[in-house]
Structure 1
Protein backbone atom coordinates (compact mmCIF):
# COMPACT_ATOMS: atom_id res chain seq x y z
CA UNK A 1 0.00 0.00 0.00
CA UNK A 2 1.22 3.51 -0.76
CA UNK A 3 2.34 5.93 1.95
CA UNK A 4 -0.65 8.03 3.02
CA UNK A 5 1.27 11.29 3.41
CA UNK A 6 2.77 10.95 -0.06
CA UNK A 7 -0.57 10.12 -1.65
CA UNK A 8 -2.10 13.21 0.02
CA UNK A 9 0.46 15.35 -1.82
CA UNK A 10 -0.54 13.64 -5.07
CA UNK A 11 -4.26 14.22 -4.45
CA UNK A 12 -3.62 17.92 -3.79
CA UNK A 13 -2.11 18.22 -7.27
CA UNK A 14 -5.27 16.76 -8.83
CA UNK A 15 -7.50 19.05 -6.78
CA UNK A 16 -5.61 22.16 -7.91
CA UNK A 17 -6.15 21.38 -11.61
CA UNK A 18 -9.51 23.19 -11.87
CA UNK A 19 -8.18 26.33 -10.17
CA UNK A 20 -5.22 26.97 -12.53
CA UNK A 21 -5.03 27.85 -16.20
CA UNK A 22 -4.78 25.21 -18.92
CA UNK A 23 -1.22 26.33 -19.69
CA UNK A 24 -0.20 25.03 -16.27
CA UNK A 25 -1.65 21.56 -16.83
CA UNK A 26 1.43 20.22 -18.62
CA UNK A 27 3.68 21.21 -15.73
CA UNK A 28 1.25 19.75 -13.18
CA UNK A 29 0.95 16.56 -15.23
CA UNK A 30 4.74 16.15 -15.18
CA UNK A 31 4.83 16.74 -11.42
CA UNK A 32 1.97 14.31 -10.88
CA UNK A 33 3.67 11.64 -13.01
CA UNK A 34 6.92 11.92 -11.06
CA UNK A 35 5.01 11.88 -7.77
CA UNK A 36 3.12 8.72 -8.81
CA UNK A 37 6.36 6.94 -9.68
CA UNK A 38 7.66 7.85 -6.24
CA UNK A 39 4.46 7.12 -4.31
CA UNK A 40 3.62 3.86 -6.10
CA UNK A 41 7.23 2.68 -6.40
CA UNK A 42 6.69 -0.33 -4.17
CA UNK A 43 3.40 -1.26 -5.81
CA UNK A 44 4.68 -1.17 -9.40
CA UNK A 45 7.81 -3.10 -8.40
CA UNK A 46 5.84 -6.09 -7.03
CA UNK A 47 3.71 -7.53 -9.87
CA UNK A 48 1.99 -10.14 -7.69
CA UNK A 49 0.78 -7.72 -5.01
CA UNK A 50 -2.83 -6.45 -5.24
CA UNK A 51 -3.20 -2.75 -5.98
CA UNK A 52 -5.07 -1.15 -3.08
CA UNK A 53 -5.32 2.60 -2.55
CA UNK A 54 -6.48 4.18 0.75
CA UNK A 55 -9.90 5.54 -0.27
CA UNK A 56 -10.69 6.80 3.26
CA UNK A 57 -7.58 8.99 3.33
CA UNK A 58 -8.29 10.26 -0.19
CA UNK A 59 -11.90 11.13 0.68
CA UNK A 60 -10.81 12.86 3.91
CA UNK A 61 -8.41 15.06 1.95
CA UNK A 62 -11.13 15.97 -0.57
CA UNK A 63 -13.77 16.69 2.08
CA UNK A 64 -11.38 19.02 3.93
CA UNK A 65 -10.23 20.77 0.76
CA UNK A 66 -11.75 24.04 -0.44
CA UNK A 67 -11.05 23.31 -4.12
CA UNK A 68 -13.99 22.88 -6.48
CA UNK A 69 -13.11 20.09 -8.91
CA UNK A 70 -14.61 20.17 -12.41
CA UNK A 71 -14.97 16.78 -14.07
CA UNK A 72 -14.00 18.01 -17.55
CA UNK A 73 -10.75 19.54 -16.27
CA UNK A 74 -9.94 16.38 -14.34
CA UNK A 75 -10.57 14.16 -17.37
CA UNK A 76 -8.38 16.36 -19.57
CA UNK A 77 -5.63 16.25 -16.97
CA UNK A 78 -5.99 12.47 -16.73
CA UNK A 79 -5.38 12.11 -20.46
CA UNK A 80 -2.13 14.09 -20.21
CA UNK A 81 -0.84 11.79 -17.49
CA UNK A 82 -1.89 8.70 -19.46
CA UNK A 83 0.29 9.90 -22.33
CA UNK A 84 3.25 10.24 -19.96
CA UNK A 85 2.60 6.75 -18.60
CA UNK A 86 2.44 5.36 -22.15
CA UNK A 87 5.83 6.91 -22.87
CA UNK A 88 7.18 5.39 -19.67
CA UNK A 89 5.70 1.98 -20.54
CA UNK A 90 7.36 2.08 -23.97
CA UNK A 91 10.80 2.14 -22.37
CA UNK A 92 12.76 -1.12 -22.12
CA UNK A 93 11.95 -3.32 -19.11
CA UNK A 94 9.17 -0.91 -18.01
CA UNK A 95 6.16 -2.56 -19.62
CA UNK A 96 4.94 -4.29 -16.46
CA UNK A 97 5.69 -1.29 -14.29
CA UNK A 98 3.86 0.95 -16.76
CA UNK A 99 0.80 -1.30 -16.73
CA UNK A 100 0.65 -1.32 -12.92
CA UNK A 101 1.27 2.42 -12.80
CA UNK A 102 -1.62 2.95 -15.21
CA UNK A 103 -3.88 0.84 -12.97
CA UNK A 104 -2.79 2.87 -9.94
CA UNK A 105 -3.51 6.07 -11.82
CA UNK A 106 -6.94 4.84 -12.94
CA UNK A 107 -7.88 3.82 -9.39
CA UNK A 108 -6.58 7.11 -7.98
CA UNK A 109 -8.67 9.16 -10.43
CA UNK A 110 -11.71 6.94 -9.75
CA UNK A 111 -11.37 7.44 -5.99
CA UNK A 112 -10.96 11.19 -6.43
CA UNK A 113 -14.02 11.52 -8.68
CA UNK A 114 -16.12 9.32 -6.38
CA UNK A 115 -15.13 11.34 -3.31
CA UNK A 116 -15.85 14.60 -5.17
CA UNK A 117 -19.29 13.29 -6.16
CA UNK A 118 -20.00 12.31 -2.55
CA UNK A 119 -18.84 15.71 -1.31
CA UNK A 120 -21.03 17.52 -3.83
CA UNK A 121 -24.02 15.34 -2.93
CA UNK A 122 -23.53 16.01 0.77
CA UNK A 123 -23.18 19.75 0.18
CA UNK A 124 -26.35 19.78 -1.93
CA UNK A 125 -28.16 17.77 0.74
CA UNK A 126 -27.08 20.22 3.43
CA UNK A 127 -28.19 23.18 1.31
CA UNK A 128 -31.56 21.55 0.62
CA UNK A 129 -31.95 20.74 4.32
CA UNK A 130 -31.17 24.35 5.19
CA UNK A 131 -33.69 25.58 2.61
CA UNK A 132 -36.33 23.20 3.94
CA UNK A 133 -35.56 24.31 7.50
CA UNK A 134 -35.85 27.96 6.46
CA UNK A 135 -39.17 27.27 4.70
CA UNK A 136 -40.42 25.31 7.71
CA UNK A 137 -39.42 28.19 9.98
CA UNK A 138 -41.24 30.65 7.73
CA UNK A 139 -44.28 28.36 7.61
CA UNK A 140 -44.26 28.04 11.38
CA UNK A 141 -44.03 31.82 11.72
CA UNK A 142 -46.92 32.28 9.29
CA UNK A 143 -48.98 29.68 11.15
CA UNK A 144 -48.27 31.44 14.45
CA UNK A 145 -49.26 34.80 12.97
CA UNK A 146 -52.46 33.28 11.58
CA UNK A 147 -53.21 31.70 14.95
CA UNK A 148 -52.68 35.03 16.70
CA UNK A 149 -54.91 36.77 14.15
CA UNK A 150 -57.58 34.09 14.57
CA UNK A 151 -57.47 34.45 18.35
CA UNK A 152 -57.66 38.23 18.07
CA UNK A 153 -60.53 37.96 15.58
CA UNK A 154 -62.36 35.54 17.89
CA UNK A 155 -62.00 37.88 20.85
CA UNK A 156 -63.10 40.85 18.75
CA UNK A 157 -66.07 38.97 17.31
CA UNK A 158 -67.14 37.85 20.77
CA UNK A 159 -67.06 41.44 22.01
CA UNK A 160 -68.91 42.60 18.89
CA UNK A 161 -71.59 39.94 19.28
CA UNK A 162 -72.14 41.03 22.87
CA UNK A 163 -72.38 44.62 21.64
CA UNK A 164 -74.89 43.61 18.95
CA UNK A 165 -76.96 41.78 21.53
CA UNK A 166 -76.95 44.88 23.72
CA UNK A 167 -77.98 47.08 20.80
CA UNK A 168 -80.80 44.68 19.87
CA UNK A 169 -82.01 44.81 23.45
CA UNK A 170 -81.84 48.60 23.43
CA UNK A 171 -83.78 48.71 20.15
CA UNK A 172 -86.51 46.47 21.51
CA UNK A 173 -86.74 48.46 24.75
CA UNK A 174 -86.76 51.75 22.81
CA UNK A 175 -89.44 50.59 20.37
CA UNK A 176 -91.78 49.13 22.97
CA UNK A 177 -91.13 51.95 25.41
CA UNK A 178 -91.72 54.54 22.71
CA UNK A 179 -94.88 52.82 21.51
CA UNK A 180 -96.14 52.65 25.07
CA UNK A 181 -95.49 56.38 25.55
CA UNK A 182 -97.13 57.27 22.24
CA UNK A 183 -100.09 55.03 23.00
CA UNK A 184 -100.50 56.63 26.41
CA UNK A 185 -100.41 60.12 24.89
CA UNK A 186 -102.88 59.19 22.15
CA UNK A 187 -105.29 57.80 24.72
CA UNK A 188 -105.95 61.37 25.80
CA UNK A 189 -108.60 62.85 23.59
CA UNK A 190 -107.29 66.37 23.88
CA UNK A 191 -103.72 65.52 22.81
CA UNK A 192 -102.57 67.73 19.97
CA UNK A 193 -101.42 66.00 16.78
CA UNK A 194 -98.09 67.84 16.86
CA UNK A 195 -97.29 66.23 20.21
CA UNK A 196 -97.89 62.79 18.76
CA UNK A 197 -95.66 63.58 15.79
CA UNK A 198 -92.98 64.96 18.11
CA UNK A 199 -92.88 61.83 20.26
CA UNK A 200 -93.06 59.44 17.29
CA UNK A 201 -90.20 61.25 15.52
CA UNK A 202 -88.13 61.24 18.71
CA UNK A 203 -88.62 57.49 19.18
CA UNK A 204 -87.82 56.88 15.50
CA UNK A 205 -84.65 58.97 15.81
CA UNK A 206 -83.45 56.85 18.73
CA UNK A 207 -84.20 53.63 16.85
CA UNK A 208 -82.40 54.90 13.72
CA UNK A 209 -79.29 55.79 15.76
CA UNK A 210 -79.22 52.33 17.30
CA UNK A 211 -79.72 50.69 13.90
CA UNK A 212 -76.89 52.80 12.47
CA UNK A 213 -74.43 51.61 15.11
CA UNK A 214 -75.65 48.04 14.67
CA UNK A 215 -75.13 48.19 10.89
CA UNK A 216 -71.58 49.54 11.30
CA UNK A 217 -70.66 46.69 13.62
CA UNK A 218 -72.15 44.10 11.24
CA UNK A 219 -70.18 45.57 8.32
CA UNK A 220 -66.97 45.30 10.31
CA UNK A 221 -67.70 41.68 11.23
CA UNK A 222 -68.29 40.79 7.57
CA UNK A 223 -65.18 42.65 6.41
CA UNK A 224 -67.23 44.95 4.16
CA UNK A 225 -66.44 48.19 5.97
CA UNK A 226 -65.06 49.85 2.84
CA UNK A 227 -65.56 53.42 1.69
CA UNK A 228 -68.54 52.66 -0.60
CA UNK A 229 -70.48 50.71 2.01
CA UNK A 230 -69.69 53.30 4.70
CA UNK A 231 -70.76 56.19 2.43
CA UNK A 232 -74.07 54.48 1.55
CA UNK A 233 -74.83 53.75 5.20
CA UNK A 234 -73.99 57.26 6.35
CA UNK A 235 -76.08 58.82 3.57
CA UNK A 236 -79.08 56.68 4.48
CA UNK A 237 -78.63 57.45 8.16
CA UNK A 238 -78.26 61.16 7.44
CA UNK A 239 -81.45 61.27 5.36
CA UNK A 240 -83.58 59.43 7.93
CA UNK A 241 -82.05 61.36 10.83
CA UNK A 242 -82.68 64.62 9.00
CA UNK A 243 -86.31 63.71 8.35
CA UNK A 244 -86.82 62.87 12.02
CA UNK A 245 -85.16 66.12 13.07
CA UNK A 246 -87.35 68.13 10.69
CA UNK A 247 -90.48 66.41 12.02
CA UNK A 248 -89.43 67.17 15.60
CA UNK A 249 -88.82 70.84 14.82
CA UNK A 250 -92.06 71.18 12.85
CA UNK A 251 -94.04 69.47 15.61
CA UNK A 252 -92.41 71.68 18.23
CA UNK A 253 -93.13 74.94 16.44
CA UNK A 254 -96.69 73.95 15.52
CA UNK A 255 -97.52 72.89 19.05
CA UNK A 256 -100.03 75.25 20.67
CA UNK A 257 -98.08 75.50 23.94
CA UNK A 258 -94.52 74.85 22.64
CA UNK A 259 -94.16 72.44 25.56
CA UNK A 260 -95.08 68.85 26.16
CA UNK A 261 -98.59 68.76 27.61
CA UNK A 262 -98.75 68.00 31.32
CA UNK A 263 -100.61 64.81 32.14
CA UNK A 264 -102.75 64.49 35.17
CA UNK A 265 -101.31 61.57 37.15
CA UNK A 266 -104.63 60.43 38.53
CA UNK A 267 -106.35 60.51 35.13
CA UNK A 268 -103.43 58.70 33.55
CA UNK A 269 -103.51 55.99 36.23
CA UNK A 270 -107.24 55.48 35.74
CA UNK A 271 -106.89 55.14 31.96
CA UNK A 272 -104.04 52.65 32.31
CA UNK A 273 -106.05 50.55 34.76
CA UNK A 274 -109.01 50.59 32.36
CA UNK A 275 -106.77 49.31 29.57
CA UNK A 276 -105.42 46.58 31.79
CA UNK A 277 -108.95 45.41 32.58
Structure 2
Protein backbone atom coordinates (compact mmCIF):
# COMPACT_ATOMS: atom_id res chain seq x y z
CA UNK A 1 0.00 0.00 0.00
CA UNK A 2 1.38 3.42 -0.97
CA UNK A 3 2.42 5.53 1.98
CA UNK A 4 1.76 9.26 2.33
CA UNK A 5 5.37 10.09 1.45
CA UNK A 6 5.23 7.83 -1.61
CA UNK A 7 2.01 9.51 -2.75
CA UNK A 8 3.54 12.97 -2.42
CA UNK A 9 6.55 11.72 -4.35
CA UNK A 10 4.31 10.31 -7.10
CA UNK A 11 2.21 13.49 -7.31
CA UNK A 12 5.32 15.63 -7.70
CA UNK A 13 6.67 13.21 -10.30
CA UNK A 14 3.44 13.35 -12.32
CA UNK A 15 3.19 17.14 -12.07
CA UNK A 16 6.65 17.45 -13.61
CA UNK A 17 6.15 15.05 -16.52
CA UNK A 18 2.67 16.46 -17.32
CA UNK A 19 3.69 20.09 -17.02
CA UNK A 20 2.66 22.10 -20.06
CA UNK A 21 5.58 23.52 -22.00
CA UNK A 22 9.26 22.69 -21.59
CA UNK A 23 11.01 22.11 -18.27
CA UNK A 24 13.64 24.36 -16.75
CA UNK A 25 17.10 23.05 -15.88
CA UNK A 26 16.28 22.77 -12.19
CA UNK A 27 13.11 20.84 -13.04
CA UNK A 28 15.08 18.43 -15.22
CA UNK A 29 17.54 17.91 -12.37
CA UNK A 30 14.67 17.27 -9.94
CA UNK A 31 13.17 14.79 -12.42
CA UNK A 32 16.55 13.04 -12.69
CA UNK A 33 16.79 12.78 -8.91
CA UNK A 34 13.25 11.39 -8.68
CA UNK A 35 13.98 8.85 -11.43
CA UNK A 36 17.06 7.75 -9.49
CA UNK A 37 15.06 7.45 -6.22
CA UNK A 38 12.32 5.53 -8.04
CA UNK A 39 14.88 3.13 -9.53
CA UNK A 40 16.19 2.40 -6.04
CA UNK A 41 12.77 1.70 -4.53
CA UNK A 42 11.47 -1.79 -4.37
CA UNK A 43 8.24 -2.52 -6.25
CA UNK A 44 7.88 1.08 -7.41
CA UNK A 45 5.65 1.46 -10.43
CA UNK A 46 4.43 4.31 -12.57
CA UNK A 47 1.57 6.03 -10.69
CA UNK A 48 -1.11 5.25 -13.27
CA UNK A 49 -4.00 6.34 -11.05
CA UNK A 50 -2.48 9.79 -10.46
CA UNK A 51 -1.70 10.29 -14.15
CA UNK A 52 -5.24 9.27 -15.13
CA UNK A 53 -6.81 11.48 -12.45
CA UNK A 54 -4.79 14.52 -13.55
CA UNK A 55 -5.60 14.00 -17.22
CA UNK A 56 -9.31 13.60 -16.46
CA UNK A 57 -9.33 16.84 -14.47
CA UNK A 58 -7.34 18.82 -17.05
CA UNK A 59 -7.92 19.88 -20.65
CA UNK A 60 -5.10 17.81 -22.09
CA UNK A 61 -5.43 16.49 -25.64
CA UNK A 62 -3.36 14.03 -27.68
CA UNK A 63 -0.51 16.59 -27.97
CA UNK A 64 0.38 15.90 -24.33
CA UNK A 65 1.78 12.52 -25.43
CA UNK A 66 4.43 14.15 -27.60
CA UNK A 67 5.18 16.64 -24.84
CA UNK A 68 5.74 13.89 -22.27
CA UNK A 69 7.88 11.86 -24.66
CA UNK A 70 9.98 14.92 -25.45
CA UNK A 71 10.57 15.58 -21.74
CA UNK A 72 11.61 12.03 -20.93
CA UNK A 73 13.77 11.39 -23.99
CA UNK A 74 15.41 14.74 -24.57
CA UNK A 75 17.26 14.70 -21.26
CA UNK A 76 20.11 12.37 -20.46
CA UNK A 77 19.59 10.82 -17.05
CA UNK A 78 23.23 10.16 -16.21
CA UNK A 79 22.83 8.49 -12.83
CA UNK A 80 19.83 6.33 -13.75
CA UNK A 81 19.84 2.96 -15.43
CA UNK A 82 18.90 3.46 -19.10
CA UNK A 83 16.76 0.33 -19.19
CA UNK A 84 14.77 1.64 -16.21
CA UNK A 85 14.33 5.03 -17.86
CA UNK A 86 13.14 3.41 -21.10
CA UNK A 87 10.71 1.12 -19.28
CA UNK A 88 9.26 4.00 -17.23
CA UNK A 89 9.01 6.14 -20.37
CA UNK A 90 7.08 3.46 -22.28
CA UNK A 91 4.77 2.80 -19.31
CA UNK A 92 4.04 6.50 -18.85
CA UNK A 93 3.38 7.07 -22.56
CA UNK A 94 1.03 4.07 -22.76
CA UNK A 95 -0.81 5.21 -19.65
CA UNK A 96 -1.12 8.79 -20.90
CA UNK A 97 -2.39 7.58 -24.28
CA UNK A 98 -4.90 5.27 -22.62
CA UNK A 99 -6.12 8.02 -20.27
CA UNK A 100 -6.50 10.49 -23.16
CA UNK A 101 -8.49 7.91 -25.18
CA UNK A 102 -10.73 7.17 -22.21
CA UNK A 103 -11.25 10.87 -21.53
CA UNK A 104 -12.22 11.55 -25.16
CA UNK A 105 -14.62 8.59 -25.12
CA UNK A 106 -16.18 9.63 -21.81
CA UNK A 107 -16.51 13.28 -22.86
CA UNK A 108 -18.16 12.23 -26.13
CA UNK A 109 -20.67 10.01 -24.34
CA UNK A 110 -21.37 12.69 -21.74
CA UNK A 111 -22.04 15.15 -24.56
CA UNK A 112 -24.41 12.68 -26.24
CA UNK A 113 -26.16 12.01 -22.92
CA UNK A 114 -26.55 15.74 -22.27
CA UNK A 115 -27.94 16.22 -25.77
CA UNK A 116 -30.47 13.42 -25.26
CA UNK A 117 -31.35 14.83 -21.84
CA UNK A 118 -32.03 18.23 -23.41
CA UNK A 119 -34.25 16.56 -26.01
CA UNK A 120 -36.13 14.69 -23.28
CA UNK A 121 -36.56 17.90 -21.27
CA UNK A 122 -37.80 19.69 -24.40
CA UNK A 123 -40.27 16.88 -25.14
CA UNK A 124 -41.39 16.89 -21.51
CA UNK A 125 -42.01 20.64 -21.67
CA UNK A 126 -44.01 20.17 -24.87
CA UNK A 127 -46.05 17.43 -23.19
CA UNK A 128 -46.69 19.69 -20.20
CA UNK A 129 -47.73 22.53 -22.52
CA UNK A 130 -50.01 20.19 -24.47
CA UNK A 131 -51.48 18.87 -21.23
CA UNK A 132 -52.18 22.39 -19.96
CA UNK A 133 -53.65 23.33 -23.33
CA UNK A 134 -55.93 20.28 -23.29
CA UNK A 135 -57.21 21.22 -19.84
CA UNK A 136 -57.79 24.80 -21.00
CA UNK A 137 -59.56 23.71 -24.19
CA UNK A 138 -61.67 21.19 -22.26
CA UNK A 139 -62.83 23.82 -19.78
CA UNK A 140 -63.50 26.27 -22.62
CA UNK A 141 -65.47 23.69 -24.63
CA UNK A 142 -67.46 22.75 -21.53
CA UNK A 143 -68.22 26.44 -20.96
CA UNK A 144 -69.33 26.88 -24.57
CA UNK A 145 -71.68 23.88 -24.40
CA UNK A 146 -73.06 25.20 -21.13
CA UNK A 147 -73.62 28.60 -22.76
CA UNK A 148 -75.36 26.94 -25.73
CA UNK A 149 -77.65 25.04 -23.37
CA UNK A 150 -78.52 28.16 -21.38
CA UNK A 151 -79.09 30.15 -24.59
CA UNK A 152 -81.50 27.56 -26.05
CA UNK A 153 -83.43 26.90 -22.86
CA UNK A 154 -83.45 30.59 -21.97
CA UNK A 155 -84.88 31.49 -25.37
CA UNK A 156 -87.51 28.76 -25.16
CA UNK A 157 -88.46 29.90 -21.68
CA UNK A 158 -88.89 33.48 -22.88
CA UNK A 159 -91.09 32.31 -25.75
CA UNK A 160 -93.09 30.19 -23.29
CA UNK A 161 -93.57 33.19 -21.03
CA UNK A 162 -94.80 35.25 -23.99
CA UNK A 163 -97.30 32.56 -24.92
CA UNK A 164 -98.39 32.33 -21.32
CA UNK A 165 -99.38 35.98 -21.36
CA UNK A 166 -102.08 35.26 -23.90
CA UNK A 167 -104.94 35.64 -21.46
CA UNK A 168 -108.40 36.89 -22.05
CA UNK A 169 -109.55 37.64 -25.53
CA UNK A 170 -107.01 36.69 -28.18
CA UNK A 171 -106.64 39.34 -30.87
CA UNK A 172 -104.49 39.70 -33.96
CA UNK A 173 -102.66 42.54 -32.24
CA UNK A 174 -101.64 40.28 -29.34
CA UNK A 175 -100.58 37.51 -31.72
CA UNK A 176 -98.57 40.01 -33.75
CA UNK A 177 -96.79 41.29 -30.64
CA UNK A 178 -95.88 37.74 -29.61
CA UNK A 179 -94.61 36.99 -33.12
CA UNK A 180 -92.40 40.11 -33.07
CA UNK A 181 -90.98 39.29 -29.63
CA UNK A 182 -90.53 35.62 -30.59
CA UNK A 183 -88.67 36.52 -33.82
CA UNK A 184 -86.34 38.86 -31.92
CA UNK A 185 -85.65 36.15 -29.32
CA UNK A 186 -85.05 33.51 -31.99
CA UNK A 187 -82.69 35.80 -33.91
CA UNK A 188 -80.75 36.64 -30.74
CA UNK A 189 -80.45 32.96 -29.75
CA UNK A 190 -79.39 31.99 -33.28
CA UNK A 191 -76.70 34.69 -33.40
CA UNK A 192 -75.43 33.54 -30.00
CA UNK A 193 -75.31 29.96 -31.26
CA UNK A 194 -73.40 31.03 -34.37
CA UNK A 195 -70.80 32.86 -32.26
CA UNK A 196 -70.42 29.90 -29.86
CA UNK A 197 -70.16 27.32 -32.65
CA UNK A 198 -67.51 29.36 -34.47
CA UNK A 199 -65.50 29.65 -31.24
CA UNK A 200 -65.86 25.91 -30.59
CA UNK A 201 -64.76 25.15 -34.16
CA UNK A 202 -61.60 27.24 -33.74
CA UNK A 203 -60.69 25.34 -30.57
CA UNK A 204 -61.27 21.88 -31.99
CA UNK A 205 -59.62 22.44 -35.39
CA UNK A 206 -56.44 24.49 -35.90
CA UNK A 207 -56.65 24.07 -39.67
CA UNK A 208 -58.70 26.70 -41.50
CA UNK A 209 -59.95 24.13 -44.03
CA UNK A 210 -61.34 21.79 -41.36
CA UNK A 211 -63.23 24.37 -39.34
CA UNK A 212 -66.98 24.19 -39.12
CA UNK A 213 -68.77 26.47 -41.53
CA UNK A 214 -72.48 27.25 -41.51
CA UNK A 215 -74.35 26.21 -44.65
CA UNK A 216 -75.45 29.30 -46.52
CA UNK A 217 -78.84 27.90 -47.57
CA UNK A 218 -79.75 26.68 -44.08
CA UNK A 219 -78.70 29.98 -42.50
CA UNK A 220 -80.64 31.92 -45.10
CA UNK A 221 -83.76 29.79 -44.48
CA UNK A 222 -83.58 30.25 -40.71
CA UNK A 223 -83.00 34.00 -40.88
CA UNK A 224 -85.64 34.28 -43.59
CA UNK A 225 -88.14 32.44 -41.40
CA UNK A 226 -87.36 34.73 -38.45
CA UNK A 227 -87.73 37.83 -40.63
CA UNK A 228 -90.99 36.41 -41.97
CA UNK A 229 -92.34 35.95 -38.43
CA UNK A 230 -91.28 39.50 -37.60
CA UNK A 231 -93.04 40.94 -40.68
CA UNK A 232 -96.20 38.91 -40.05
CA UNK A 233 -96.22 40.18 -36.47
CA UNK A 234 -95.85 43.75 -37.69
CA UNK A 235 -98.78 43.24 -40.10
CA UNK A 236 -100.98 41.90 -37.28
CA UNK A 237 -100.05 44.78 -34.97
CA UNK A 238 -100.25 47.71 -37.34
CA UNK A 239 -103.10 46.67 -39.61
Q: TM-score, normalised by structure 1?
A: 0.57
The answer for the alignment partner of 2:66 in structure 1 is 75
Cα deviation code 1:158-204 (max 9, x no counterpart): 222222223333455667888x79xx9xxx7x847xx7665434322
The answer for the alignment partner of 1:37 in structure 2 is 32
Shift of 1:58: 2.8
| Rounded Cα–Cα distance in structure 1 between residues aligned with 2:111 and 2:231 | 77
Shift of 1:71: 1.3
Shift of 1:212: 0.9
* Max Rg structure: 1
| Rounded Cα–Cα distance in structure 1 between residues aligned with 2:234 and 2:88 | 115
The answer for the alignment partner of 1:143 in structure 2 is 127
After TM superposition, the structure 1 = structure 2 runs for residues 184-263 of structure 1, keeping only pairs within 5 Å, are 191=172, 199-223=178-202, 247=231, 251=235, 255-256=238-239
| Rounded Cα–Cα distance in structure 1 between residues aligned with 2:195 and 2:62 | 70
Shift of 1:132: 4.6
Q: TM-score, normalised by structure 2?
A: 0.64
In structure 1, runs of 5+ residues without a counterpart are 257-277
| Rounded Cα–Cα distance in structure 1 between residues aligned with 2:113 and 2:27 | 38
Q: Secondary structure at the match of 2:59?
A: coil
After TM superposition, the structure 1 = structure 2 runs for residues 1-277 of structure 1, keeping only pairs within 5 Å, are 3-17=6-20, 20=21, 25=22, 28=23, 33-42=28-37, 44=39, 52-63=45-56, 65=57, 67-79=58-70, 81-85=72-76, 97-123=81-107, 125-126=109-110, 129-130=113-114, 132-170=116-154, 191=172, 199-223=178-202, 247=231, 251=235, 255-256=238-239
Q: Is the 8 A contact 1:10 1:32 kept in 2?
A: no
Q: Is the 8 A contact 2:65 2:96 kept in 1?
A: no
How many pairs does the alignment contain? 221
Runs of 4+ in structure 1 deviating by more than 6 angstroms, as ranges, are: 174-178
In structure 2, runs of 5+ residues without a counterpart are none
Cα deviation code 1:3-55 (max 9, x no counterpart): 432332232234332xx4xxxx3xx1866654443223255469xx8773222
